[in-house]
Structure 1
Amino acid sequence: MYNQFSQGQYFPAEKCTQNCMIFMLKGDLLINSAEYPGTTLHSNQIILQAIGSTMELLALTDVEYIVYRFTELPALCEERYKEILNRSEAPLTYTPLTAIPKLKYLLKDLAEYLREQSPACGKYIDIKCQELVYILTCYYPLPQISTFFYPISTYTESFHYFVMQNYDKVKNVEEFAHLGGYTTTTFRRLFKNMYNVPVYEWILDKKREGILNDLQHTKQRISAISARYGFDSLSHFAHFCKDSFGDTPRSLRKRSANGERITIICKEKAGEDNSGTKPADL
């Protein structure tokens, strides 16, 4: 997707529903994410954000960039890609990748095509994406590109990726298991083996993280946030927030606006949680 925005255009923090790469073509774009906190992207720089990560953007100048969203990368030079993932290690500090000349030419042609063609030819775009991935995986030094791909290295297994892509779309474990074609027993076992924590605890932790992010970094109505996370009433939502963060949703939002840093203070105990859903049903 080709994007062109004027200086001052702001995109509030939003969770990535797919892996995505941002290829800067022109201007300066401020990004704020866990991997790139307060980082300014310049022309010919590239970053990768994994599914589930949260990203906030601000155009410091007029900007042009291409966003490539994907579930899995095209199957090209698989041995090379496996080697890249096997060598991936978390860097001390994430640094944007710089486009090499071969990649610059491809991005320039692709941007011109996307500006001129509406709608774009899907097959042509698929071919260009394959070429893009080929250049990234085969023309960059292995240590450098391994660091670049680290954010998605933990999601290479299909079960991992399924969980990250769908955990916020389900209300309980049975629904989660059914969505993936698993029996509930098998799903619980696979999940516990992979994450070393029961499904309900993991989902509740993710729920807390999402609620806290929405209260602090978005202007969504309290009722909309409550409904999004499956609470059957605002009172249940308020109780959940008090137990998890120590205050009501409105108070938390006000405290955050005053510069206070809000944190999760506890985890749900066994029994019925305050959303009206029993953890055992999760």
Structure 2
Amino acid sequence: MSPLEYSRAQLMSKKYLIEPHTDCAHCNKEIEKSFVHRILPKGHHIPKDKCTQNGMLFIMKGELLINSEEYPGTTLREKQFILQAIGSKIELLALTEVEYVFYWFNELPLICEERYRHIINETVAPLTYSPMLMNQRIANLITDVASYLEETISCSKFIDLKCQELVYLIIHYYPLPQLSAFFYPISTYTESFHYFVMQNYSKVKNVEEFAHLGGYNTATFRRLFKNMYGVPVYEWILEKKREGILDDLQRTKQRITEISQRYGFDSLSHFAHFCKDSFGDTPRTLRKKAANGERIGKIAD
């Protein structure tokens, strides 16, 4: 091989190492949303919002103040990670410049289901929740995932493998008592019916629509729901919607129209009637009262 041919071969080799070639045109992109990598400047605030999936938060650099039911006013530091269940509400404030990766999931991609079931069967509510500390293997994986997400070429199958690897490293490299406390927030949502309910209750207008969405007939759905939650499904949906609407009116700057649509109302007038019946006032008046420091809440039955 001549010197010129050798140099050309070296360049081609480097090109293929730096620029991977894949054809992702027909690949499923949904799995790519599993990981979210963000860098926040100091002082950046993310208002309290409801988790629409289960999520694990991995701190790569800096300090992040989190406020949730499990971690009220907790400062997360480098290499710490936590778990938040679907339906939980979290608020974030960057105390320094902070870099993190969020892993979102509905059900964990398990390589060893037997080990996970053993953990879930041992779950107990901890007196206080404590962040976990990434071991070096997990820290390396999270760093690699963050770098990968910055690349322009994507591969959902590769991300799926990284999800499996992450879960494997968590459930196999920590002691059982620590894992039992860590997974407790999602232990009540391990069945698919629970996941389905928590993901979709805010999107439906009535019980029939809810049942149809899950592929159940209405009578079967009512019975399953009552057995699991102890109350009629429609009553439960209304209560959850009331909680969410009150929270959004008080804690967010979302427009009234957006809140109305989020909870499945056909019109603003329908939404206004619902608020008057439930809370005694229109959405705009309720928001003004909350802004003035007045307490707003459900009308007593």
- Indicate the TM-score class for this superposition, using the shorter chain for normalisation: 0.7 to 0.9
Structure 2 residue 234 is matched with structure 1 residue 188: no
> Cα deviations across residues 150-170 of structure 1 (Å, max 9, x unaligned)?
111101111111111111111
Checking the alignment, whether the CA contact within 8 Å between 1:34 and 1:54 is kept in structure 2 is yes
User: Secondary structure, in 3 states, of the residue corresponding to 1:212?
Assistant: helix
1:175-214 to 2 correspondences below 5 Å: 175-214=209-248
Checking the alignment, whether the CA contact within 8 Å between 1:27 and 1:64 is kept in structure 2 is yes
Structure 2 residue 59 is matched with structure 1 residue 53: no
1:29-108 to 2 correspondences below 5 Å: 29-108=64-143
> Cα deviations across residues 85-125 of structure 1 (Å, max 9, x unaligned)?
1111122222211112222222222223333x223322222
Tell me the distance in 1 between the aligned counterparts of 2:53 and 2:265: 25
Aligned length: 266
The alignment's TM-score, normalised by the length of structure 1, stands at 0.88
Tell me the distance in 2 between the aligned counterparts of 1:54 and 1:157: 21
Tell me the distance in 2 between the aligned counterparts of 1:98 and 1:7: 23
- Root-mean-square deviation (CA, aligned residues, Å) is 1.8
Give the superposition deviation at 1:224. 2.6
Checking the alignment, whether the CA contact within 8 Å between 2:56 and 2:102 is kept in structure 1 is yes
Unaligned runs of 5+ in 2: 1-35
Find the partner of 1:28 among 47, 53, 63: 63
Tell me the distance in 2 between the aligned counterparts of 1:233 and 1:266: 25
Unaligned runs of 5+ in 1: 268-282
Tell me the distance in 1 between the aligned counterparts of 2:293 and 2:144: 45
Tell me the distance in 2 between the aligned counterparts of 1:224 and 1:112: 35
Tell me the distance in 1 between the aligned counterparts of 2:68 and 2:116: 25
Given residue 6 of structure 1, which amino acid in structure 2 is its aligned partner? P
1:107-256 to 2 correspondences below 5 Å: 107-115=142-150, 117-256=151-290
Tell me the distance in 1 between the aligned counterparts of 2:140 and 2:262: 43
Checking the alignment, whether the CA contact within 8 Å between 1:13 and 1:56 is kept in structure 2 is yes
Checking the alignment, whether the CA contact within 8 Å between 2:110 and 2:168 is kept in structure 1 is no
Find the partner of 2:296 among 262, 270, 279: 262
The alignment's TM-score, normalised by the length of structure 2, stands at 0.82
Give the superposition deviation at 1:260. 4.2
Instruction: Select the structure of larger CA radius of gyration.
Output: 2
Give the superposition deviation at 1:232. 4.2
User: Secondary structure, in 3 states, of the residue corresponding to 1:244?
Assistant: helix
Structure 1 pair 41–260 and aligned structure 2 pair: CA distance change class (3 A):
farther
Give the superposition deviation at 1:130. 1.2
Give the superposition deviation at 1:235. 4.3
Who is 1:277 aligned against?
A: none
Checking the alignment, whether the CA contact within 8 Å between 1:243 and 1:266 is kept in structure 2 is no
User: Secondary structure, in 3 states, of the residue corresponding to 2:271?
Assistant: helix
> Cα deviations across residues 160-206 of structure 1 (Å, max 9, x unaligned)?
11111111111111111111111111111111111110011000001
